[in-house]
Amino acid sequence: MLNLGILISGRGSNMESILKTIKRKKIPINPAIVISNNPNAKGLRIAQKLGVKTEIIESKGFKGTREEYDEKIISALSKNGVTPKNGLVCLAGFMRIISPKFVKKYKNRIINIHPALLPAFPGLDSQKQALEYGTKYSGCTVHFVDSGMDTGPIIIQAVVKVKENDTEESLSKRILKEEHRIYPEAVNLFARKKIKVYGRKTKIT
């Protein structure tokens, strides 16, 4: 079976939603390892409670290069069966940019969730960016990771209507609800080999 590695840095609510949906819907993927770069990530405890192995690879104070850090991640993933041949890596609030070498090694096997309708509002604070821009709709995007910032082929998007009195908090909350729905769905599609990638486009079969 396919092995899943999830990389987190904090709250871990998307990770939780993925892990619970795998169980509930019997998605054919084995949650092999959750890795955090932050030893205090709340998500670590959630993963442990759900019976998933965790590992901390602290990035704060790490003296080497980005590539050297990523080598540690790759080695932990591989040790747990999350390989470029038989693995899927989900970035779930992982607050680091990953090196081109890592991306290349796991080509079209690393996916990410972004709280905006890409290509609008990439990078940080996307919900705030959407509000300040005055868009009437925002949402979230699950996409493959390439070497750019939030630029890889899009797998699923969900639209959320922006309300006139929305704050960053209220909009983020409604977007997060959709994130928790579409991220596990993307994992399900991947596990069932239903996503085909053509250049920067994907087709769900």
CA separation for the pair 42, 40 (Å, rounded) = 6
* CB of residue 203 to ligand GRF, shortest distance in Å: 24
Residue number closest to ligand GRF, CB atom: 93
The residue among 64 and 133 lying less far from ligand GRF, judged by its C-beta, is: 133
Respond yes or no: is residue 143 known to be catalytic: no
Positions touching ligand GRF (CB under 6 A) are: 8, 10-15, 43, 92-93, 113-115, 176, 179
Contact 116, 129 (CB under 8 A): yes
* CB of residue 198 to ligand GRF, shortest distance in Å: 25
The residue among 29 and 92 lying less far from ligand GRF, judged by its C-beta, is: 92
CA separation for the pair 152, 108 (Å, rounded) = 9
Residue in 34, 38, 98, 114 annotated catalytic: 114
The residue among 85 and 127 lying less far from ligand GRF, judged by its C-beta, is: 127
* CB of residue 60 to ligand GRF, shortest distance in Å: 17
Q: Which residues lie below 8 Å from residue 191, measured CB to CB, with a gap of 6+? A: 2, 27, 28, 29, 88
CA separation for the pair 119, 105 (Å, rounded) = 24
Nearest of 58, 74, 82, 62 to residue 9 by alpha carbon: 58
* CB of residue 14 to ligand GRF, shortest distance in Å: 3
Q: Which residues are catalytic?
A: 114
